[in-house]
Structure 1
Amino acid sequence: MAVGIGNIEGGEAEDEDLFPETTPAEKAEYVDERYSTEDGTETDTAYTEVYVRDESNNALSKEPLLDTLQYKQTVLENESVAVAIPADGEITSIASIVAAAAADDPDATLDEQIGALESTSEAEVTSIVSEALSEEPEARQLVSNSYDPETTSAESHQIIFVFETTEDGEINDAVTSHLFETASDRENPEYFTLNEHALVEANEQMNENTIGLILPVALALILGVLAFTYRDLVDVIVGMVGVVVSIIWMFGILGWLEISAGITMIVGPVLIAALSIDYGFHIFMRYREQRDSGEPIRPPMNRAVRSVSIALCLVTITAGIGFLSNIVNPLENIRDLGLGITFGVISAFLIFVTLVPALKVSIDQTLERFRLDRQKHPLGDGAVLRPFLQSGVVLAKRAAPIVVVVALVATAGSAAAWTALDEEPFEQQTEPAPEWMGELPGPLAWEDPEYNLNEIYVQEQFQPVAQNEGDRIQILIQGDVTNDETLTRIHEAKDTGVFAESTGNTDTVSVLTAMDDLAEEDDEFAAAISEADTSGNGVPDTNLEALYNEMYTLSPESASQVIESTDGTYQSIRIIGPADGGGSLSERADDQTAVASTVEDDSNLTATAVSETTILQSGIEAITDGILHVMVLALVSVFVVYTIIARYLYGSATLGAVTVIPIVLVTGLVISGMYVLDLPLTLVTALLMSLVIGLGIDYNIHVSDRFAQELEAGRNFSQALEAAVVNTGGALLGSALTTAVAFAAIILHPHPQLENLGTLVVLALLMSFLVSVFVLPSLLTIWARFTLPTEEVTETETTSPSDD
């Protein structure tokens, strides 16, 4: 299996691959294929920023501006960079604008700009900067929000490099690497980028931080809880060996089958470790129950494996179904995750019913030859834990209907919580790590990557510069675009307020603006527009096809920006403009979609709002729908399969149904917990919904299976319920605590994405455990009252279940 790991493809997804294909995304591709840019050519350039920050808090003074020009000169000395800059391209910065003004030549070369700025006094530079920033909106976008007009100072500014792209639409890696390296070499002013090379360095630092702090804390907590629950070093080691082998098997199978690991590389070990630890607890605790004083080791282990293997097999089947339900998810990454985890679950089952018991028997036999006693007591038999676990049984006997009603109300409340969850594509770290983390001793000290701090700074200080249509909102209108009402609808759409006020090169462009521009240059076309305007409002409302024809005749470059012409017919038109950035992501998406609706309502037109906002929001909605589909499919599949299995194994389909019902409650409680703790619904939290179902059914099956076994062994209802909840509950408690503390360590991570991941998993584990020992017993009690003979459902509080 280990050899197969070498065949694994990491499958790192690009950002755009993290979301399913949606209508806005499809229409964005359509626009890219069918429409030209402002000069009539296909887009083959991209831009990247380098930020300049001065320690004196005035990056607009002469020396920092001069240093910026010299930095550009250094960058351009690299052959890869020089080749990648388009013939008509430029490097935009406030330094170039000021230096060109100082040279009194807008076309001054970089050397001429440097010479002119060197010969300009500080006072003159300040005057030029003030004039440029007050009169040129494009220049103001290059300066940070810290700009103070009274002192003509700002802490930082940005340089925008435009480069030709490679065949995959990206900037050449050698170019971005050179920008990163040259920026890192300069100290004052400070230069930095946020490109992929800066991110790689940040990830390396983050890994060091995680290995230095999170991993040791997690391991210490896991070993501490395992030591407390197992109370035996040998069992801890054997159990961890089983966990590691299970994970290796999972990746080995993926490798041999040549399935991309992708996000399974991150989430897979976490989920399989959780299930493997659970499997180990049940094997070891049942073995301890089965072994009588003075009995040899092998027979009780055989009985324990036979006894618990049915429950483990059922858990494997049902958990596998839960994870495999992700095949209906719209995201390929999540579909691969479901497949990978399913293989991991099967691997864990095989390892813990074969290898782990064999190791345990071999080691215990060897130790007992040296007269080391290997007789251990199961968890849940202590003076503290036993009364705690028994309280679930007592509650079931005295108030089962009340418990069930409360559970149903809690589940119903989760529906409202689901609709109230915030939806975000990803969570960003907006604050540096707490100071105390950096003050920890030695390798435990946390060092925030410069990338994170710089990213937070840029988000606070700079607004994105709209360099192309991709940064704006587009309304793509398809259908009979020559219909007389079409341009009237466009005119109404522009007045909805979703388009921001036009500044500089970010004017709103549409068929109407293109017509107006041509009318200013051609009187005959102006007359044609006037003739086509029967309402007198300045908007043509008849004979539109003839006007489109004339536009393509007079200026095909201008017309092709806003009108799609194929073989002489007009397939679509579009509006392009700067989007109003107010409101949350969903609010902006709703506003933009509403504009499209005003165009297509009561018409034969189809209008789609295309922007980064609508693409992200539609992706989130698709993921949300995917989660619902997965959860419904998983719950229904598990319900059907386990009901059939329960009918075959226990002779009662209703017992199977009762076992599955609490999973709905666990899912509901986790959703309610997310709402209370203000955890947003993101791509990462979406992935963990399978964990909720997988662990929920796991814990319930163990309790229910033990309950059925005890009844079959001749115990009465009360004895069977107590054995199931107290003895099996002890193993469940150990499993829940061990996995929970491991994930609790992740909460220390300052990134909210990982912090919330840890919080959600801990929440799912605790809810699964509590429901299995406090709600399921009440359901089993009600089931017993309706299905078992009356004389069997009697309270025998003084009778304790004997060991098998």
Structure 2
Amino acid sequence: MASLDSALSRVNDVVVGRPVTVVVAFLLVTGLFAPGLTTISTEAGTEQFTQDSPAQTAFDRVNEDFGPTFAFDGGTTQLIHRGRNVLSKPELLRMLRILERLESREDLRVASTNSAAGAVARTLDPSATTSDEQIRAVESASPGEIDRAVGEAAEGPGFRSLLSEDFNEESARASATITVVQHRIPGGVDEAAGMGGDSPLTPIQQRIQRMVQPAGGDVVVFGSGLVAAEFSTIIFDSLFIVVPAAVALIFVFLVYAYRNPVDLVLGVLSLVMTIVWTLGFLGLAGIPFTQLLIAIPPLLLAVGIDFGLHAINRYREERAEGFDIRESMAVANRQLLVAFFIVTGTTVIGFSANTVSDLGPIRDFGIIAAVGIVFTFLIFGVFLPAAKVAVDELFDSLGVPMPFQRPLGREETLLGRVLPAGVAVARRAPAAFLVVVLLGSAWAGYYGTGVDTAFSQDDFLPPEDNPDYLEELPEPFRPGEYTVTERTNFLEENFASAQDDTVVVYLRRPMRQDDALEAIRRAGLDPPSSFAAENRRAEAESVIDVIRSHANESASFARLLRRSDVDGDGVPDDNLEAIFDALLSSSARERTLRYVTEDLRATRVVYTTESDAEQAAVTRDARTVADRYRYDATATGAVVVFQDVADAILLSSVRSLLVALAATAGFLVAIYYALVGRPSLGVVNLVPILVTIALLAGTMRYFGLPFNALTATILSISLGLGIDYSAHFVHRFVDEYDARVDDESGFDSWGRGADDRSDAVVSALRATVTGTGGALTGSMLTTVSGTGVLVLAITPVLGQFGVLTALSILYSYLTAMVVTPSAVVLWARYVG
């Protein structure tokens, strides 16, 4: 590792010796990354998290084998029609005329439609099969005839499911109805448990939206294509709010921290270059920009600000001692390159630990964040010092003085008097203080093990109504109107079919075997508590329901069923091959194929669950029921898929933290051994961050903030970002301590008495907190502000991540300034 120190020294020589060349080279590289900004694509919603789930794989197989209700190979569009009475003659005609216009457009690829208006028209005139004929049937009917037709249609299958729960059959009234438009798209549309993702239906549904608006009445369009488009809009709107807000807050703090317009411009330019390099890399690599990646710019700004303040502040300290420009930067940057390398290594480890996650978006997050941190190291460790030297020499050659060059944290300032508080504690009772801190942290960590894990659509949905503070934003920052949440809530509140929670058991077994249907019946007996049940039998839909329904329609099939039902329970347990042959050759063929495959080698059973049941309980019970089948049975459905993702989130969080801790500990021990011959300092470096992680976990549970798709990364990120503060602190302490040792009569620190060593330690700590501590304070304030603005993001998951990241930075700063001095004193006393 001596070669590392030598390599960093050579880099520093180039920075100080050829600053203009370095600046030009970095600006050229920025120009190479810039085109990538124009090629960034987006991917949003929850579908991106479910793709690798085993339950989603089974769900895909179910959709492939059976197809969801009303779904053709191209997917569906829903027309939600609201009004005082959507079954009145004018409203029925309104919907039929909309459908007529949609069917006349080839580019909308309408395969068929299913509507309450069409059902009423066919009841009035059974021969009315086209929209034009149905319009004439309704136009020629009197209001009384329409009311009677509504009553007759309500007795048929499927009609009530298209109407809101307030449907009154006697008065033929309902306040809302759903019309389903089925499309045919070459290649089809993927069916997944999650919402969002790219969809070929987006342009079709946008055109339908434009066509429906002039029709009048309260008719709105809803579908996966519009949801995908709205999620992409939410990403850009969030960026357009969060990034300017972060920049504005950061700018205010940077003005105070730099107190020099030239240094401010250099710092801001470096931050902009960091974002351009990272997002440009994203576009050039073809990685889609997801909702999780919205957190990347604030995180990079956080680390960049920290590096920038340290670089400028450390340089100013040397200048204050009377050294010239290049000599000052040579001393400052030689020290900081090592510190930056340590911080970059630990931060990259913290972010990269997320690549062990089973969830693709979290892996992408870890990769892009790690790459961005490396870019940050290069820009702030090489470009910024070179630019500072070049600019200062230019001003010096022009005879223009550089104003406001006093470093932060000098002892004569208020900040300089507050910062040494941790040193005062370390001087008097370091052991007692550290024991109290570690015991409190252990309790907080144990308490934090009860943090919930959650994954749902709601995490990614915008609020139904934007908060007032967002509505008060001026254009162009004011967010748009989002409809997905309002329409989703409306469907759940007004349509029974949307409220029903279901799980699916996908069973692969020969359905011709005589006990195949009896196995379905037995599995539903004495169902678990989360399953809806009647008379100790689970409420379920299966091919058994088709068999019983067809027996009521066909006398010959009813006779076959009676001959095949040996035990008289209404479920055939003999002649199943004849039963299925009869079904597949009858009018019940389509209904049968909704539950069994045509080769009769697989079936699905749809169980209804209690609406208030917890997702975890439903998933556990669904797998319990699946285990009752002796053949290959898999529990799936949206609830099970989401719980799979929630389990993966928790596993990801724990695994990433353990990997990050182990790798960071190994890295710190190795780097301190290589650079200063004191590997035990790596352990000292870890103490404050372990306290931070414990406090953060306890805070999450106390405030009810769960591990979700984004906050699952927070523990490893806290380690990666938080180690920054203690690494700068410890590395500066080592330099200050060694300087004092070398100045003392030729003896090293271990050759003098305990009092001498103690004085050297305390003196080095005081110099550290008033020097590096000032830069750390400025970094903390800007970083907390920069990441905290994520609470302004439109989706809840980003707001929670912003709060937790800001808290982790605050905790890291406080533990570095308060806990590290005591840890260092004990290290010097018993280990050093």
Given the superposition, is the C-alpha separation of residues 586 and 297 from structure 1 closer, same or farther in structure 2, using an over 3 Å criterion?
same
Counterpart code for 2:400: R
**2-side partners of 1:565 and 1:119: how far apart?**
43
Stretch deviating more after TM superposition (677-686 or 2-11): 2-11
Q: What are the residue-to-residue correspondences of 1:660-699 with 2, within 5 Å?
A: 660-699=686-725
Q: CA deviation at 1:617?
A: 0.9
1:757 to 795, 801, 806: 801
Asked whether the equivalents of residues 246 and 348 of structure 1 are also in contact (C-alpha less than 8 Å), the reply is yes
Given the superposition, is the C-alpha separation of residues 407 and 739 from structure 1 closer, same or farther in structure 2, using an over 3 Å criterion?
same
Given the superposition, is the C-alpha separation of residues 562 and 132 from structure 1 closer, same or farther in structure 2, using an over 3 Å criterion?
closer
For 1:494, the equivalent position in structure 2 comes to 524
For 2:89, the equivalent position in structure 1 comes to 62
Asked whether the equivalents of residues 180 and 198 of structure 1 are also in contact (C-alpha less than 8 Å), the reply is no
For 2:262, the equivalent position in structure 1 comes to 234
For 2:98, the equivalent position in structure 1 comes to 71
CA offset digits 1:50-95 (Å, max 9, x no partner): 12234xx4444332332111111121221123xx333xx3x22232
Does 2:787 match 1:787? no
2:652 to 621, 626, 629: 626
Counterpart code for 2:520: I
CA offset digits 1:338-388 (Å, max 9, x no partner): 222222212111111221011112222333433324452222226332233
Asked whether the equivalents of residues 44 and 164 of structure 1 are also in contact (C-alpha less than 8 Å), the reply is yes
Stretch deviating more after TM superposition (143-152 or 748-757): 143-152
CA offset digits 1:148-185 (Å, max 9, x no partner): 78976554332111222431426655532322221234
**1-side partners of 2:179 and 2:594: how far apart?**
28
CA offset digits 1:750-777 (Å, max 9, x no partner): 5323322321221222122122112222
1:354 to 376, 379, 382: 382
**1-side partners of 2:815 and 2:367: how far apart?**
28
Does 2:272 match 1:244? yes
Does 2:159 match 1:139? yes
For 1:115, the equivalent position in structure 2 comes to 136
Asked whether the equivalents of residues 743 and 761 of structure 1 are also in contact (C-alpha less than 8 Å), the reply is yes
1:156 to 176, 187, 195: 176
Q: How many corresponding residue pairs?
A: 756
**2-side partners of 1:484 and 1:646: how far apart?**
72
Does 2:454 match 1:410? no
Does 2:110 match 1:85? yes
1:26 to 57, 62, 70: 57
**2-side partners of 1:30 and 1:437: how far apart?**
43
**1-side partners of 2:229 and 2:400: how far apart?**
55
Given the superposition, is the C-alpha separation of residues 214 and 649 from structure 1 closer, same or farther in structure 2, using an over 3 Å criterion?
closer
For 1:802, the equivalent position in structure 2 comes to none
2:334 to 306, 323, 334: 306
SS of structure 2 residue aligned to 1:714: helix
Counterpart code for 2:727: I
For 1:391, the equivalent position in structure 2 comes to 421
Counterpart code for 1:275: V
2:222 to 175, 178, 193: 193
For 1:791, the equivalent position in structure 2 comes to none
Stretch deviating more after TM superposition (439-448 or 43-52): 439-448
Q: TM-score, normalised by structure 1?
A: 0.84
Q: CA deviation at 1:745?
A: 2.7
For 1:794, the equivalent position in structure 2 comes to none
SS of structure 1 residue aligned to 2:320: coil
Given the superposition, is the C-alpha separation of residues 387 and 521 from structure 1 closer, same or farther in structure 2, using an over 3 Å criterion?
farther
Given the superposition, is the C-alpha separation of residues 333 and 443 from structure 1 closer, same or farther in structure 2, using an over 3 Å criterion?
closer
Asked whether the equivalents of residues 685 and 730 of structure 2 are also in contact (C-alpha less than 8 Å), the reply is yes
Given the superposition, is the C-alpha separation of residues 516 and 634 from structure 1 closer, same or farther in structure 2, using an over 3 Å criterion?
same
Given the superposition, is the C-alpha separation of residues 436 and 4 from structure 1 closer, same or farther in structure 2, using an over 3 Å criterion?
closer
Given the superposition, is the C-alpha separation of residues 596 and 5 from structure 1 closer, same or farther in structure 2, using an over 3 Å criterion?
farther
Does 2:770 match 1:726? yes
Does 2:465 match 1:432? yes
Asked whether the equivalents of residues 238 and 794 of structure 2 are also in contact (C-alpha less than 8 Å), the reply is no
Q: CA deviation at 1:501?
A: 7.4
Given the superposition, is the C-alpha separation of residues 359 and 434 from structure 1 closer, same or farther in structure 2, using an over 3 Å criterion?
same
Q: CA deviation at 1:637?
A: 0.6
For 1:796, the equivalent position in structure 2 comes to none
Q: CA deviation at 1:18?
A: 2.0
Counterpart code for 2:93: L
Asked whether the equivalents of residues 581 and 588 of structure 1 are also in contact (C-alpha less than 8 Å), the reply is no
Q: CA deviation at 1:659?
A: 0.9
CA offset digits 1:102-155 (Å, max 9, x no partner): x2437553223323333444565456556756x567333333456678976554
Given the superposition, is the C-alpha separation of residues 168 and 776 from structure 1 closer, same or farther in structure 2, using an over 3 Å criterion?
farther
Asked whether the equivalents of residues 234 and 794 of structure 2 are also in contact (C-alpha less than 8 Å), the reply is no
SS of structure 1 residue aligned to 2:505: strand
Asked whether the equivalents of residues 71 and 182 of structure 2 are also in contact (C-alpha less than 8 Å), the reply is no
Asked whether the equivalents of residues 507 and 577 of structure 1 are also in contact (C-alpha less than 8 Å), the reply is yes
Q: What are the residue-to-residue correspondences of 1:462-473 with 2, within 5 Å?
A: 462-464=495-497, 472-473=502-503
Asked whether the equivalents of residues 287 and 301 of structure 1 are also in contact (C-alpha less than 8 Å), the reply is yes
Given the superposition, is the C-alpha separation of residues 551 and 396 from structure 1 closer, same or farther in structure 2, using an over 3 Å criterion?
farther
Does 2:816 match 1:772? yes
**2-side partners of 1:232 and 1:587: how far apart?**
59
For 1:449, the equivalent position in structure 2 comes to 482
For 2:122, the equivalent position in structure 1 comes to 100
1:266 to 294, 318, 338: 294
**2-side partners of 1:255 and 1:750: how far apart?**
23
Q: CA deviation at 1:639?
A: 0.7
Asked whether the equivalents of residues 144 and 154 of structure 1 are also in contact (C-alpha less than 8 Å), the reply is yes
Given the superposition, is the C-alpha separation of residues 404 and 125 from structure 1 closer, same or farther in structure 2, using an over 3 Å criterion?
farther
1:225 to 232, 253, 262: 253
Does 2:739 match 1:739? no
For 1:612, the equivalent position in structure 2 comes to 638
**1-side partners of 2:399 and 2:252: how far apart?**
27
Counterpart code for 1:176: Q
Given the superposition, is the C-alpha separation of residues 199 and 377 from structure 1 closer, same or farther in structure 2, using an over 3 Å criterion?
same
Given the superposition, is the C-alpha separation of residues 357 and 374 from structure 1 closer, same or farther in structure 2, using an over 3 Å criterion?
farther
Given the superposition, is the C-alpha separation of residues 605 and 339 from structure 1 closer, same or farther in structure 2, using an over 3 Å criterion?
same
**2-side partners of 1:553 and 1:774: how far apart?**
79
**1-side partners of 2:619 and 2:271: how far apart?**
45
**2-side partners of 1:414 and 1:607: how far apart?**
39
**2-side partners of 1:445 and 1:185: how far apart?**
27
The percent identity for this pair of structures is 27
**2-side partners of 1:180 and 1:677: how far apart?**
41
Q: TM-score, normalised by structure 2?
A: 0.81
1:48 to 77, 80, 90: 77
Counterpart code for 2:822: S
Asked whether the equivalents of residues 194 and 451 of structure 1 are also in contact (C-alpha less than 8 Å), the reply is no
Stretch deviating more after TM superposition (609-618 or 291-300): 291-300
For 1:646, the equivalent position in structure 2 comes to 672
Asked whether the equivalents of residues 357 and 656 of structure 2 are also in contact (C-alpha less than 8 Å), the reply is yes
Q: CA deviation at 1:3?
A: 3.0
Q: What are the residue-to-residue correspondences of 1:510-659 with 2, within 5 Å?
A: 510=542, 512-513=544-545, 521-522=556-557, 526=561, 529-531=564-566, 533=567, 547-555=575-583, 573-597=603-627, 599-600=628-629, 605-659=631-685
**2-side partners of 1:190 and 1:512: how far apart?**
38
Given the superposition, is the C-alpha separation of residues 23 and 390 from structure 1 closer, same or farther in structure 2, using an over 3 Å criterion?
same
SS of structure 1 residue aligned to 2:406: coil
SS of structure 2 residue aligned to 1:310: helix
Given the superposition, is the C-alpha separation of residues 276 and 695 from structure 1 closer, same or farther in structure 2, using an over 3 Å criterion?
same
Q: CA deviation at 1:255?
A: 5.7
Q: CA deviation at 1:315?
A: 0.9
Asked whether the equivalents of residues 475 and 576 of structure 1 are also in contact (C-alpha less than 8 Å), the reply is yes
**1-side partners of 2:107 and 2:277: how far apart?**
44
Q: CA deviation at 1:701?
A: 0.7
CA offset digits 1:592-634 (Å, max 9, x no partner): 223224x05xxx5443211111011112211221221111111
